[in-house]
Each structure stands twice: as structure tokens, then as C-alpha cells.
Structure 1
Amino acid sequence: MRAMRIHGYGGPDVIVADEVPRPVPGDGELLVRVAATAFNPSEVGLRRGLLREVLPIGFPYTLGWDVSGTVVSAGAGFAAGNPVVGRLDAGGAAADYVVAPAGALVGLPPGVPVAAAAALPVAGLTAMQAVADLRAGQRVLVNGAGGAVGWFAVQLAKRAGAHVVATASARTAATVARSGADEIIDHTTTPLDGVGADVLLHLAPAAAPVGAVRPGGAIVSATGPVVAPPSVRSTHFVVAADPRRLAELVALVAAGELRIEIAATRPLTDLPAVHQDAEGDRLRGKVLLVPA
């Protein structure tokens, strides 16, 4: 089978399609035939070695944290052919098959497309954690609403009863509008200082618009610590794998209360080009990689 692996840190060209034996599951593990994995911008940092202090890996390393697919053989409460989705902290999803801890996987009910479900684990869980403390009636600014995390965050914030102001550029405005934001601001042309947000959800790699938050408000950042005035509470989090919450996201999708939007679906072997496009700022939204 094929596995998209790196044998050392470097540029996109270090990602190669290797032929490797199909993995064999051990106790508490399942073999999954991969329907799709999803690209996450943080994987660029992993591939370049920028995350080695917080996420050490061994080589060769198979990329891919998000996985959706079908169980190959029964075990741990799953039957052969069951569609599943999960987040694999050890990677390995960018392959034809992957072995996954059964506890990391969530079954997919009818109505949830198997391949598209791969967009949920990292991006959806990040968004869910970002909005965890929102209250109905709050004015919430989602900075980075044009990305996959922002897409989910807008929907989840609306579901929590917030009034959602979302940032977008001309390239992402149409996508952000489909997410259901109450207001959309082109952050490339309009200052954000007057937004008066109760909460800023900072989901973009650029500098946080601290001035958009009113005194007494809060900043919740998924991209790094944000220095804020003493009158503004600032917190930073690193999303954790949480199968229970992933199951909640899947249920929302199945009920039609949360939409998945896929920007592009590309062959698994396009992964080096996807990384190159990401470094060149040519990607918007969630990109799926699918085995042939």
C-alpha cells in the first residue's frame, strides 16, 4: 500500500509516496481502509520541524491526523464495513490503510458522507473548544472565519446564541457568508478597532486584532498566546483529541445542524503540492486527500 511519508524535516519535497506493508492491528486497535484524510495547516510546521519541541516524531513518519474510512475487520465494538472517523495523534492517515486505536474512532451514522467527515476531527474539535464558554447574546468576533476552523466556529457560535461578526477577505467572503455569520467585515480594508466584541475567537495566524475587544471582554486564541490590555482576559489553548466531543459534532452533522464545506478534494499523492500551495498562501478552506 502507499503511505505519504517524510524521512526527515524539510520542504514539501521531503514528502514521498512510499510502498509499505499493510499495517496489522494489535490489541485495542482497528485496521481502517482510508476514505480521506484532511490537510491541516499545522502539518506544515510539523513537516518543517517547527513543532519538534512539542510534538517529537520518529522517521519515517506518515502524515495525516484526520481520518475517515471503513473498518476492515470486526473488533472493539465495530463491525467490518462500519464507517468511522477519528483523530490520530500519532499520524498515519495519509495512506491507503491505517491502524487506529479503537477508542479514537467514532462511528458515522447514515447521512454523514464518509470522506467529508475527515474534515471534522482537528478543525471541528478546535472550533468546539474555542466556543466552549460562549453565552447567548454575546457579540463574538471570529477572526479567521475563512478557514476550516473558522467555518465551524461561526456555526457553533451561532448555535450558542451569539451575535457573530466574522472577518473575511474578498477571496473568502462568499464562503464566510454561507457559514451564517450575522456580519462580515473585510479585514483587509476595514479596521476592526470599533467592533466592540465581548469575545474574540482568534483563529488566524496573523496578529490578533486586540483593539476589537471591549474592556472587560475576552480573547480565546487557538494559534498562540495573545498579549492583551489588563482589561481584557486572554487565553490560549491547544486542542486535544476528544472522541466524545467528536461524536457530538458527528451527531450535529447528521441532524443537519452543522455543515461541512470542502474546498477541494485531491488525490493522496498530491500531498506535497498541497503543502506547497499552503506555504504559498494559495489554499482556502478544507482540502481532502483521498486514496485512488
Structure 2
Amino acid sequence: MTMMKTSRIHEYGDTSVIRYEAVPRPRPAFGDVLVHVAATSFNPTEAALRAGLLRAFFPVDLPYTLGWDVAGTVAEIGAGAVGFAVGDRVIGRLDSGGAAAEYVRAPAALLTAAPKSVPLAHAAALPVAGLTAWQAVFEHGKVATGQRVLVNGAGGGVGGFVTQLAKHAGAEVIATASPRSAEAVLRQGADQVIDYTAGPVGAALDSRVDTLLNLVPLSPPDAAALAPLVRPGGRIVSIATPIEPAADSGVSAVHVVARNDVGHLAALVELVDAAVLGIGIDIDISATRPLAELADVHHLSESGRIRGKTIIIP
């Protein structure tokens, strides 16, 4: 029996429940490929899953191997799997997890060709964060040329992609970020960066915006303070705390839970290879850590000390 290393949980709890251990290497089932993992990436929602906060609507079987983003090379083709050959470089979002390992069994239908223009490990930053950003900007925000867009929380992993996509759509992008993230957010295309630690965001705006894209958890007072910053007829899109505008404001609001869409992911890959969407050090990837240190990455995230995306290398 061939073994591999993985990081998984046997129970819900704090970061100490993450175990780095050897398990049998999986074999691809019907419609699957076996991917030799180059990298996964950390998403803050995975910390909530590990802690048991998502069990009511996202139950998993324990033990559970972490890792939703995958970038790697096809190592084996299962019966019925089409579209790939051994050696192909692929990326995908794995809704059942498992990418925090040396190998992962993945449905071929959830994978697409990896970008050619960036290191394969860097491409692991794209699936979850990129799909969330794409759907927030284009499907729900309907961002277009000439609009003023406020990106609240641009310094995070999703925020880097949201800022770039909104700018690509032709919008004027106003982004909130801390001083440590401001320079990176400007490089991503923001026209103005507001230091949210310095005072109310609204005080730094000279006029209301067409679209608010909220990417961070907010207290009820903070959420209420953002809603009036959107003009009548505008939109509020939140991937975190729902923001409710006043009933008579003429502003529409939606709370987004991103879905897996291989077509959208392939479109994102095209933008990366066209140098429209950047992935790299100081842009979206702030750190690279070995798989054995995944528990420490969870701890850093929960203490608020992660900016951008962290890549995890088996």
C-alpha cells in the first residue's frame, strides 16, 4: 500500500485538531483523476469548518482532509474521466475537500487547465477566491464601465481579485484596506485606498458609489454605516455579513455564497494568461508554507495576521 502525507481533522475544535499524518494514497474512481498536488491554498472559511461552525449546513464525514483549492499534475486517469491526460497541469475547486495532501482524487468535471504564465503552485490561489470574486463582480454586482465601486476589504485574498476584476470591467475602484495592504491594493488597480482604521469610510468619500462589494464580517453598526454610501438604484453585494439598505433607499442588496463553476474558472485562467489578472508575490500571495504547518496558518488567520493568500505546499 502506497502512503502519502495529509493534514486532516478527526474532530471539530481549535487548531490543535489538525493532524499531519500518513494515509493510503487514493485511487481514482469512475469519472475521477488522481492529482499530484503542487499546492492548495488557505481560505478563512476552512477555519470555520474546522471549528465546527459550519456543520449545520456543510456537514462532513470525519476524518476530513482539508483543502478546497487544488493545483497540480494529473497522475492517473480513472475510468470514464475525459478531457485530461497524465501530466496535464490542472486547477480546481474541490467542494468535498482533500487537497491538503500529496495526492487527491478529484472529479475531472471540476478541473480546468492551469494558467501557463504563473508557477503551478501560485495557481492554487485562484479557484475559491477567484470564483467568489468573479460572481460578486459580474453576476451580482453587474460592474460596468464608468461605475464607481467601493470594495470593502480589498486587502484579503478575495479582495485582490475583486479589485482587479472591477478595474478590468472599467469601473473607478475605491478600496478600503489597512496601511500594510494599501500599496498592494494600489498595484492591483485601485484608484483610491481608504484606510478603514483611520475613521469612518464614508468620511473619505466625496460622493456615493454605484456598487458596494463587501468582503469582510461587520458589526451591525458598521454594516448600517456602509449602506447609505450607495446611491439610489445602486447595488450592495456582500460575501460576508449581509448589509440591508433602508427600505425606501432604492438600493438592492444580495448576500452571495459562491458556487463552483468550471466555466468561470476557465475564464479566470484566460485573464491570468492575458496578464489582466495578476497572481504572485506582493499581489495575491503573501506567504508560502509547508503542509506540516497548516495548523499554524489557521492560527495566524484567526488572530488576524494573514494578508492576501497563503499557499500550502505538500
Common fold: TM-score over 0.5: yes
Match of 2:266 among 223, 240, 247: 247
Match of 1:234 among 253, 278, 286: 253
Q: Secondary structure at the match of 1:20?
A: strand
Match of 2:161 among 125, 133, 152: 152
Determine the C-alpha separation between the residues in 1 that align with 2:114 and 2:308: 22
Whichever structure has more helix as a proportion of its residues is 2
Aligned match of 2:174: 165
Where structure 2 has 5 or more consecutive residues not aligned to the other structure, the ranges are: none
Give 1:73 deviation, angstroms: 2.3
Determine the C-alpha separation between the residues in 1 that align with 2:170 and 2:108: 35
1:95 aligned onto 2:95: no
What is the one-letter code of the residue matched to 2:100?
A
Q: Deviations over 1:187-246 (max 9, x none)?
A: 111322253111100001224322322233211001132222121211111000001100
CA contact (8 A) 1:66 1:87 kept: yes
Aligned match of 1:178: 187
Aligned match of 1:82: 88
CA contact (8 A) 2:166 2:173 kept: yes
1:215 aligned onto 2:232: yes
Where structure 1 has 5 or more consecutive residues not aligned to the other structure, the ranges are: none
Aligned match of 1:137: 146
What TM-score, normalized by structure 1, do the two folds share?
0.97
1:56 aligned onto 2:59: yes
Aligned match of 1:265: 288
Q: Deviations over 1:255-283 (max 9, x none)?
A: 11100121000001110000011111111
Moved over 3 A (4+): none
Determine the C-alpha separation between the residues in 1 that align with 2:112 and 2:83: 11
Structure 1 residues 178, 120: CA separation in 2 closer, same or farther (over 3 Å shift)? same
What TM-score, normalized by structure 2, do the two folds share?
0.90
Determine the C-alpha separation between the residues in 2 that align with 1:50 and 1:30: 31
CA contact (8 A) 1:39 1:287 kept: yes
CA contact (8 A) 1:192 1:211 kept: no
